[in-house]
A and B are shown apart, each in its own frame.
Chain A
Amino acid sequence: MKKVHTALIFLSRHDEYFHKKDEYFSRLEEKINIFEDFHLHHATLLKKAQEVENLIHKIKGFIRFISVNELLVGIYKSKHLIMDLIATHFKKRFPLYNTMTFNEDLNSGCLCLAVNDDINKHEFHISKKYSIRPLIAERMYKSPSLLFFQVKNKEIFYDEFLPYIFNKLNPSSPNEDDIDESKRKFETYWNTFYDSQNIESRTNYKYAMKNFTKKQLLKQLGIKSIEAQRVYKKVKKNQKTLYDF
């Protein structure tokens, strides 16, 4: 029964079955009533739930943060309502950092305040273009640390919302050049390390493609490898596509 319960929770995040609102917990009971003949759909439901679960797992690994003082910003894409699950993972991981994860597909995300930070210190301004409020599950706490935000479109997030949060949380935030430089520095570090780990005699694109999309693979391995593209075409025919991050 426990497994069925988790399946339902994940299912409620599946956009096919649910409206794109953040009030999914309250609707969970309705969902259970819908599936009275649950045992009939058992396998398919579990499979669907597993899909969402796998996507969450993948995003947790593939998301990369840009660090600005004590704020970490990460961008990903997903059509499911999983913003809070991603955010709570990084809340546990970086308790002393403010983390912001933004879902580009749904134009919404979560801002997670650090343990020693108090929400009552900041008064978040809500405009027509964006809204920010504590997550429903967190409203009972005096100082909720998980905030849900929604913006009108991507451009507003990058041009207005992100700088606004920067200034709100770090009054003395560094200029953009510094951020870019540290980002580039770690990107080159990472690429060097990544290349050094490859054992050439074991190269196996077919296996690598189980977990990568074409975009990611070419980004990691370089477009030069024509062989990779050739194998990709063969393998990809029968495979489901994952979302690019």
Chain B
Amino acid sequence: MNTLQKLEILGASAKYDLCASTSVNTSRINKTIQSNIGYRAPAGCCHVYSADGRCVALLKLLLTNKCTNDCYYCQNSTSCKNQKGKTSFTANELVNLFMGFYKRNYVEGLFLSSGIQGDSEVTMNKMIDIGSLLREKYRFHGYIHMKVLPGTSLSSIKAMAQFADRISLNLEAPSSSHLKELCSTKNFNSDLMTRIIWMNSVNKKQKLPAGLTSQFIVGGNEASDHDILKSTNKLYKNFDLKRIYYSAFEAVKGSKLENRINTPLLREHRLYQADWLLRVYKFNLGDILPEKDSNLSLKIDPKTQLALNTFDKRFPVEINECTMKELLYVPGIGPKSARRIMNLRKNGQKIEKESTLKKLGVVTKRAKPFIKINGKYFIRLDKWLEREKITTTV
């Protein structure tokens, strides 16, 4: 099999792994090392966008698609009937291909994952070899993202962290019982959670420039948004993960879960919105967590939902007097526009008109029923709900 065919098969196998970001914490990069090629920037760079609108910044490949694991959702699993040809890259082949792309500015960095061929330790070592080849022989100073394979040892995670900017491990499901619906060979606690704990301890010592990430499959099993968000919060708080990615379940032909219904992409989007509230707005989990065994509402975004639920307690807020935290709870006001409002007030100016708010970046259409300016209301909540065609019980 030639390189072109391998690229086609192993590229397609890696497409469900999510990793758009290439930004790094530049203070954590060792600047004394002289590089021959490559450069990492605090803000990443997109090199092309795919037809689904997502940015393709990294050369996303599997080292091999031979795999002994039996994950029901995956095309490379042993139980899948519709498998493509099994191949693997040699280290030199992959590195030459990548350097060719990087030199011509096609990609920003390398994303390397792998199927587990035989023993996970052996495959992991092959990936580490590629890392060391790039960093030591080619003196590559750009971005590398590598996947930790389930069931590997602490020492190999340490070795991988030497070469990679970001390491990640896909949890796929929030708990042991949910994982059993998706995979028969992986054990949630011993194979996955222990590695996350180890990755955290490695990250504390070696200070990875782009931190750790993980990924969940949304749908395909019984796990609700309640479980996923709870698990997400735990990962952020206890294990210092930088980001969690969510991937809506999609039935792969020939796999065991072929007949399951695909998850609507909107559900994935709502989870990302809730995730954003946790990470950037620093909301408490209790604020946005849906009831047990239930999902986030598909009709309304989580922040508006929260505002409607707590309307009597919090709203409407007085724009010229409230605190930063109160501002952040208003739908249509984000961290940026909230900071602008606070800055304006610090300078002794007052907001008088709705148009001023618009200039500061507030989406007044959504914020209207939740705010008042100098005691003046804009619109009553029930009228607003009617106009926006939102039907919920407040």
Q: Which of B99-107, B150-158, B306-314, B315-323 contacts A (4 or more CB under 8 A)?
A: B99-107
> Interface residues of B toward A: which range?
35 or more
Q: How far is the CB of B243 from the nearest CB of chain A, in Å?
A: 20
Among A63, A66, A193, A221, contact of B51 (Cβ-Cβ < 8 Å)? A221
Q: Which residue of B lies closest to A188 (CB)?
A: B4
Bound complex: CA of A208 vs CA of B57, how far in Å? Answer: 14
A168 at the interface (CB under 8 A from B): no
Q: How far is the CB of A208 from the nearest CB of chain B, in Å?
A: 4
B60 at the interface (CB under 8 A from A): yes
Bound complex: CA of A193 vs CA of B9, how far in Å? Answer: 9
A50 at the interface (CB under 8 A from B): no
A130 at the interface (CB under 8 A from B): no
Q: Which residue of A lies closest to B36 (CB)?
A: A96
B250 and A194 contact, CB distance less than 8 A: no
Chain A residues in 8 Å Cβ range of B53: 204-208, 210-211
A194 and B50 contact, CB distance less than 8 A: yes
Within 8 A of A (CB), among B69-106: 97, 100-101, 103-106
Within 8 A of B (CB), among A186-220: 186, 188-190, 192-199, 201-208, 210-212, 220
B100 and A189 contact, CB distance less than 8 A: yes
Chain A residues in 8 Å Cβ range of B38: 93
A198 and B50 contact, CB distance less than 8 A: yes
A43 at the interface (CB under 8 A from B): yes
A64 at the interface (CB under 8 A from B): yes
Among A186, A208, A211, contact of B104 (Cβ-Cβ < 8 Å)? A186
**Would you give the 0/1 interface string for A50-75, flagging 1 where the beta carbon is closer than 8 Å to chain B?**
00000001001111111100001010
B234 at the interface (CB under 8 A from A): no
Chain B residues in 8 Å Cβ range of A212: 49
Inter-chain residue pair count (beta carbon < 8 A): 115
Number of A interface residues at 8 Å Cβ cutoff, please give it. 45
Q: How far is the CB of A235 from the nearest CB of chain B, in Å?
A: 12
Q: Which residue of B lies closest to A203 (CB)?
A: B51
A196 and B50 contact, CB distance less than 8 A: no
Within 8 A of A (CB), among B97-147: 97, 100-101, 103-106, 108, 142
Chain A residues in 8 Å Cβ range of B386: none
5 pairs, A vs B, C-beta closer than 8 Å = A188-B4, A189-B3, A196-B7, A205-B51, A221-B51
**Residues of A near any B CB (own CB < 8 A):** 43, 57, 60-67, 72, 74, 89-90, 92-97, 186, 188-190, 192-199, 201-208, 210-212, 220-221
13 new A-B pairs (CB below 8 Å) besides A64-B105, A93-B37?
A: A60-B45, A61-B48, A61-B57, A67-B103, A74-B105, A95-B35, A186-B104, A193-B8, A194-B50, A195-B8, A199-B16, A204-B52, A208-B52
**Residues of B near any A CB (own CB < 8 A):** 3-4, 7-9, 11-12, 15-16, 35-39, 43, 45-53, 55-57, 59-60, 97, 100-101, 103-106, 108, 142, 250, 262, 265, 359
